[in-house]
Each structure stands twice: as C-alpha cells, then as structure tokens.
A and B are shown apart, each in its own frame.
Chain A
C-alpha cells in the first residue's frame, strides 16, 4: 500500500504536497443560515497542522462526488480547520448532508493571502457581501489578535435579508467591542428588522476611517466588489491599498490547468486576493 504522505512521481512533481488530498474528519457541523454551513475539520491520524494565511483556500474533495475550492474561514492560529460555504452546487449540496465523523479530502492551502500585515499602523476597512464574510473572518481574527497594531478597524457587511446574515453571534460580539466599528445592512427586510436597509456600498461614505491611511479588503459578489472599490476611491482611498478576492473556476490550485485564467493571471495562484489597481481594468472586460 502506498502512503498518502510520500508520493513523489518520477517526473519530480510533488503530488503529495499539492495534488494529493489529505483525509480530514469532520469534528463539528454548524448551520449558519438556510443554505450556508460551517465545517470544523481535523486531520485524520493527527498529521501535521495545516498552516495557512487568511485569504487562502483549500480544494475540498467530497469522495465520489467532486472537488471544489473553498476559502478558509477560521482562525489561522487554531488547530481546527474551518470552512464555511453555501449549498449551491452538486458538491456543496452533498457536503451539506455530511455529519460529524464523516471524512473529506483536503488539498492546500493555495493562493495569495489578505495583506493583513501591510495594514499595520493604518486603518483597516473590511467590506463583505453575503458569503464573502467567510474568508474575511480569518483576516479579522488576525487583525483583532494584534489589535493595537492597527488604527481604526471597520467591518461593513451586507446581505440579501436578515436571515442570510452569517456568523450572527460573532457579529454581535464584534459590535459590542469599542475598538471595532461594525455596520450591517440588508437589501430587503421584514417590518421587524430595525437595522439598516440598503446596499453595503452606502455604508462606505459615512464610515469613520482616514482614506489616506486605509487598507481595505473586499470580498463578495463581483458587482458588489467593483462598486465598493469605486466608492472607496471616491472617499480618497488609493487603489493600491484596496484588495479584492476573486472567485473563478479553480481546479488544480497550482496554475497548471488554466481553468481559472483571468487575463494574464491564474486566480488560484496569482490570487484569489488581488490588489485592485492590478485588476481594475480586467474587471470590466466582458471577454475575460
């Protein structure tokens, strides 16, 4: 039998490192909303802890069904690997039915991280839309773990309706902090909702940050990211200090297969986190 930790083919490609899924066991499943859920995973047989930087993603394999990219939504300092996703396709719908003790294959981590350390000494504005809060939660954990190293920290979060709000308890805890400004808005609400109604971009112009010394991280639907970046620019934030996380058809995770090509870039390798100034013109090209 071949060990899953020692697979090096004769060509020299280290398939054990990035191409071979490692078995992980589901320790806990948490239902976040009607169609989103969080899986907490631990490596089977206590292998080495997977180290990642906030913003990176793993290729998650549901055995016999398929493999998909999912960003990591947990704390990079924790020994538990956390993924939050929406049950929307063939693989994620099956994944949503998995329970504690079931197994998944994990390859990764892949991709570029959020520029958390670059934000030190500056204001940090995190803008999330819908499920986009998941990969940004990892960045926020890191910022909060070194809170004194940053200026103002602002989280702006928009979803479709109040019932689509992710990480509700944590949002309440964050909102209670004096060193973190949290604003949540929804596109549509029932009469009992007493919070903001309107798209997340409307929160930008009234948020307390210094545009000249702000690093912003945005994740959500691409339309929302485009408009949020434009709104930040209107406030005076440098496009070099705005970062977006893109989603494309990632397959190999290493820039070999070409499925996630985005102009001159491969999103799995050159992204998913990109500096806005680098991809600004590509975002409006329909042919890409």
Chain B
C-alpha cells in the first residue's frame, strides 16, 4: 500500500527534501476528496491548507456579479493548489472548485507555518519550492494576458 510519505517523497515538489523534513511534512498531511462542483476553498476564507492533486481537475475562479464565475486557470493531477497559507493575512484570493471528482493530499498550513517558524531551514526549503511554482504560474499568466493568438477579424 502506498503510504502518504512515499507519495510525497515521489512528488517532484518534494524532490530532494531530507528524510526528517519529509517525515515532518507527512505529519501534517491527510487524504481528502471533493465531489464534482464542490468548492475546495472560496475567496476570502482563511487559507490553512495547500493541496497536492492526485486525481481530477480543479478550476481557480473569480466571481463577477455580472459575469458569474470566471476560470483563470485549471489544475490537475500532479499540480500543487494554494499558496495563500504561506503569506499573511492567510486568506484565499480565488475560489477553487472541483470540476470533477477530485482526490488530493491536504497539507495543514497552520501546522507547517509553526514548524517553519521553529526551523527556518525547513521554511526556506518550502519557500524555494513555492517560489518556483509562483514563477511558473506568473509566467503563464503573463502569456495569457498577452492574448497571443492575435486579432479577430
């Protein structure tokens, strides 16, 4: 049977994380599932987790009263969802909705924040990894904004 520790160890996000840190992170992890169309989190709520998606597809959305939910990005198996747990005031900036049955590993952000405060090396390790994801997402968002497919006739 696959243990949470093994799943985390094999995920690229935790690649080369030392064994003690991996055990520590595993202590903050749990399996979760979300039914189709359910919200994983909503804008403004407290951000106390992040998720490693194992199955399904999640839409990051912003709601506009005149337009309804607008999807800005979708994430799927293997992706990391959520970094607001790491940045004060620890509130979600977007809605995350499961577009299909979604299974994930939830990592307790409050628990990890405490451990990162106690051990700055762990904090640096996690921050490096999240900085990489943020860079990728920022880059993709910039390309989306460019509207590179050209003008409509």
Contacts and interface: CB of A to CB of B under 8 A. Distances in A.
A197 B143 contact: no
Contacts of B87: none
Contacts of A159: 149
Interface stretch (A2-10, A24-32, A186-194): A186-194
Contact of B151 (A88, A195, A223): A88
Contact of A206 (B72, B76, B99, B140): B76
A160 B79 CA distance: 22
Interface of A: 34-35, 86-88, 92-93, 129-130, 159-160, 164, 185, 187-189, 191, 193-199, 201-202, 206, 220-221, 223-224, 227
A203 to B, nearest CB: 10
Given A191-B68, A224-B148, 11 more contacts: A185-B74, A188-B70, A191-B69, A191-B70, A195-B74, A199-B148, A206-B78, A206-B79, A221-B148, A223-B146, A223-B148
A202 B150 CA distance: 19
B149 A130 contact: yes
Residue among A35, A86, A197, A201 with max Cβ neighbours from chain B (10 Å): A197
B143 A130 contact: no
A72 to B, nearest CB: 21
Contact of A88 (B71, B136, B153): B153
Nearest to B36: A194
Interface in B45-78: 57, 59, 68-74, 76-78
Contacts, number: 70
Contacts of A86: 153
Range class of the B interface residue count: 20 to 34
Interface string B110-153: 00000000000000000000000000100110011011111111
A93 B153 CA distance: 8
Contact of B143 (A34, A87, A164, A224): A224
A194 to B, nearest CB: 5
A223 B148 CA distance: 7
A68 B74 CA distance: 38
B149 A197 contact: no
Residue among B57, B59, B147, B149 with max Cβ neighbours from chain A (10 Å): B149
B76 A196 contact: yes
Contacts of A164: 149
Given A88-B153, A198-B140, A187 B100 contact: no
A221 B147 CA distance: 10
A227 B143 contact: yes
B142 to A, nearest CB: 9
A206 B150 CA distance: 26
